[in-house]
Chains A and B, each alone.
Chain A
Amino acid sequence: MARQFCFDAWHVELLRGLSGSGDELVRGIAEKARKEAAYHLERSTDWVVRLGDGTEESHRRMQNAVDSLWRYTGEMFEMDELDRNLVTAGIGVDLAALREPWMARVIRVFAEATLEAPGGTWMQMGGKRGQHTEKLGYILAEMQHMQRTYPNCTW
């Protein structure tokens, strides 16, 4: 839920920006997805508050979750060359500009949930550049097993 909330809070800002995209298809999808993402955010917010401001155990688990997830949130606001080109072309969104409204919402919800955002600013980066941990190799091997064993298989 902590992860879902952090994503949903970012997603609504992204979709708000993409609703003004110069590309008709992107704009159409964003306008539609915005309404649904609003419900997703409402749900995950509700659970973060319920669990954070819940029992001693749910609070502890939630705080642990926030503490371990926080370092991964920074990359959501990093722009790479593709992102920059999309902005120049009037199609994409300035991801760095999403940070402020995202942070405002997260801090507000955390406060209500009696949770604290970790201090420090170090963020894990590299995912967008294809730099992953060893664990991803195992996950991909598991998920690709069928297609690699039986290429083009269908159910």
Chain B
Amino acid sequence: MVADIQNWLSEIPDPEIPVLSILDLGIVRGVTENASGEVTVSITPTYSGCPAMDVIREQIEAALHGHGVARVNVETVLSPAWTTDWIPEAARERLREYGIAPPGDLVQIDVPVKCPRCGSASTEMVSRYGSTLCKAHYKCKSCLEPFDAFKRH
């Protein structure tokens, strides 16, 4: 059952970045089932106050209920603190293809971020906060396209 649940959870996309699932983001920290069939899904918040977390919680409950799990308990664990380091390489590649620069080393103004479209390192930060708080906004000086960069956290 737990393996099935993992599959169901892997189909839940991040509300803002639909090419990533909540498993890709490392939001799901554990899935357990007790003797009476109650399922507990432990999740960790990405950013404090991230508005997508409520939606994700609801989607987990809806998905499990939809697959016939009667009692679902979604609990939040704070420790260890969520980090973008948990995002696997395959997911980072999907971010790049989607047009978002994946999180690398700590995003600072003087560390070059590569353009996800043309690969150039000749880019500049426009704003520390992009379309969401977890992303910064950049523009590429080579191909002249704007893009968001997932900030390392």
Chain A residues in the interface with B (C-beta under 8 A): 24-25, 27-29, 31-33, 35-36, 39, 42-43, 46
Known A-B contacts A32-B48, A33-B48; the reply to A39 vs B128 at CB < 8 A is yes
A/B pair count, beta carbons within 8 Å: 31
What are 30 contact pairs spanning A and B, CB under 8 A?
A24-B79, A25-B78, A27-B79, A28-B78, A28-B79, A28-B81, A29-B78, A31-B78, A31-B79, A31-B80, A31-B81, A32-B45, A32-B48, A32-B78, A32-B79, A32-B81, A32-B82, A33-B48, A35-B81, A35-B83, A35-B153, A36-B47, A36-B48, A39-B128, A39-B151, A42-B108, A42-B128, A43-B128, A46-B109, A46-B128
Residues of chain A within 8 A (CB-CB) of B128 are: 39, 42-43, 46
Judged by DSSP, the binding face of A is helix
CA distance A39 to B135 in the complex (A): 12
What residue of chain B has the Cβ atom nearest to residue A27's Cβ? B79
Number of interface residues of B (CB under 8 A): 14
What residue of chain A has the Cβ atom nearest to residue B79's Cβ? A28
CA distance A31 to B81 in the complex (A): 7
Residues of chain A within 8 A (CB-CB) of B78 are: 25, 28-29, 31-32
Interface centre among B81, B82, B108 (most CB of A within 10 A): B81
